[in-house]
Chains A and B, each alone.
Chain A
Amino acid sequence: MSEYKSVVVTKGRGGWGGPLTITPTDERPLVASITGGGIHPVAQRIADLTGGEVVDGFRSSAPFDKLAVAVIDCGGTARVGVYPMKKVMTVDVHATSPAGPLAQFITEQLFVSGVKPEDVTET
């Protein structure tokens, strides 16, 4: 059995939403980096502090129902909505606010943006 810890992710400068408390579980162990250029430092830090398993969503499988959190580098339209729509906690490293056709799914309970590694803290 795995021991997971919690982190709190707060919005960064110009960001929106949160704070989110993220705790991986045996059912949802993955910290997925759905970002360009490999695993983002924010995803790595969440995984390091929680004990979750970090994966590059563009290289390996990261199904919605296995995710503790999705870390994205979304410019405001697509990924910001897709993960919250599936009730997956979502951290955008860009400072976006709810917009686009999926804006209704983007809530402060599921989404936080403008996040840098220092915005991820242990509880």
Chain B
Amino acid sequence: MSTAPTTVYESTVTAVGAQVTAFLEHGILIFFADEAPPELHDISVLHRATVADDGPRPGDTVHLGAATLEVLAVGEVVRDNLLNLGHLDLKADGLTEAKLPGDVCVPKGEIALLAVGDSFRITRPASTDTGQD
């Protein structure tokens, strides 16, 4: 059995909206797939996915370029939003239960600002994958 983590989502940043840093000051990072309506581009990190197998679960790791964040909690509409729209709301609120249905909660602290060409990935530890597939 492999001990390597499984990549459930992998994407490359194609644009960073002008208002993204303002949201980061609130501990929020918003993603949308790059075909999202232009009305949403200002507030979003746009990206193009190459792997879109699953949404995040608690215990997974979100990779923003070289930075990593542990997933603490996930709201009930997160998976649909990510797989349908490439949409994710990352919140550095340290909560272990998502306050809003679209929230992906990670530890309090600074979230790295992404740049065009950076990777955005979600990996799952091998041990939680038993019984899958």
Contacts and interface: CB of A to CB of B under 8 A. Distances in A.
Interface of A: 34, 36-37, 57-58, 61-64, 73-79, 82-83, 86, 94, 96, 99-101
A58 B37 contact: yes
- In the A-B complex, the 3 residue pairs with the smallest Cβ-Cβ separation, listed nearest first, are A75-B102, A36-B84, A76-B100
For the side of the interface on B, what is the size category? 20 to 34
11 contacts: A36-B87, A57-B39, A63-B39, A74-B102, A76-B101, A78-B40, A78-B87, A82-B39, A82-B40, A96-B101, A99-B99
A75 B101 contact: yes
Contacts, number: 76
B35 interface: yes
Given A36-B80, A77-B28, A78-B40, A58 B85 contact: yes
Main secondary structure of the interface of B (DSSP, over half): mixed
A82 B22 CA distance: 14
Given A57-B37, A77-B28, A77-B30, A94 B44 contact: no
B103 interface: yes
A78 B44 contact: yes
B35 A76 contact: no
A51 B24 CA distance: 41
B108 interface: no
Given A34-B40, A36-B85, A62-B37, 11 more contacts: A34-B37, A36-B81, A36-B83, A57-B39, A61-B37, A64-B39, A77-B28, A77-B103, A78-B89, A94-B102, A100-B26
Contacts of A86: 39
B43 interface: yes
A101 B28 contact: yes
